[in-house]
């Protein structure tokens, strides 16, 4: 079974933005390397990574919350499997729990919530006898946030890998999992 990579990011990104195009390339690169993409299933960077994965005939699991987002018309057209949840907390937990690794892309408060749950999951993993999963954040905003949270409350920054680009995130995961195309 292929490793599942959960990707968090802005629901507001649009196809005319560089971050959207970068996320399409990320989804395609990961799918070409044999990863399954897991995301929130809707628009923005979730759709971008789904489009990229679909271009490479990859699998995309969209974890939705229809009762929380009744204004959204359903999953984006590139999702291959939808898993509906009832609450936002259940949605975030499901996306984090099914992941073999996570990538946090630029986003807002929802993306922050997903990242914090992922970071906490890495923190408690050893308490369950598990190894922390790769937890990657992309860009200077997340790097600064990780540093501040680590400095202010003593969170373990070694549980987060900060990278500068989405391509660096993909390379990090391909190397970690020994997937094709690793440099």
Phi, psi of 38 (to 5 degrees): -125, 130
More confident: 1 or 154: 154
pLDDT at 159 over 80: yes
The structure tokens listed for 69 are 């987002």
* pLDDT tens per residue, range 56-111: 999 999 999 999 998 887 899 999 999 999 999 999 999 999 999 999 999 999 99
The length of the chain is 183
The structure tokens listed for 130 are 């598990």
Quick one: pLDDT at residue 121? 98
- 92 in helix, strand or coil? helix
Quick one: pLDDT at residue 172? 98
Judge if pTM exceeds 0.95. yes
* pLDDT tens per residue, range 109-152: 999 999 999 999 999 999 999 999 999 999 999 999 999 999 99
For the chain, domain boundaries: 4-177
* Average pLDDT value for the chain: 96
CA distance 80 to 46: 13
Owner of token pair 């993306």: 111
Tell me the CATH number for domain 4-177.
3.40.50.450
User: The sheet that has 135-138: what strands, in order across it?
Assistant: 81-84, 60-64, 36-39, 4-8, 101-104, 135-138, 161-163
Residue 162 pairs in a beta bridge with 137
The structure tokens listed for 180 are 């094709």
CA distance 148 to 116: 13
CA distance 56 to 151: 41
């Amino acid at each position: 079974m292929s490793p599942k990579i959960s990707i968090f990011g802005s629901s507001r990104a649009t196809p005319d933005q560089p971050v959207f195009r970068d996320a399409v390339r990320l989804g395609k690169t990961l799918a070409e390397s044999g990863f399954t993409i897991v995301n929130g299933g809707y628009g923005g960077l979730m759709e971008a990574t789904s489009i990229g994965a679909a271009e490479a005939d990859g699998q995309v699991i969209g974890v939705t919350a229809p009762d929380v987002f009744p204004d959204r018309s359903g999953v984006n057209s590139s999702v291959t499997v939808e898993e509906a949840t009832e609450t936002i907390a259940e949605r975030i937990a499901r996306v984090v729990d099914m992941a073999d690794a996570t990538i946090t892309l630029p986003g807002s408060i929802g993306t922050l919530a997903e990242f914090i749950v992922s970071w906490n999951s890495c923190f408690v993993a050893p308490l369950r006898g598990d190894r922390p999963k790769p937890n990657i954040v992309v860009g200077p905003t997340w790097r600064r946030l990780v540093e501040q949270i680590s400095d202010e409350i003593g969170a373990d920054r070694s549980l987060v890998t900060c990278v500068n680009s989405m391509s660096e995130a993909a390379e990090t995961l391909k190397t970690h999992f020994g997937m094709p195309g690793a440099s």
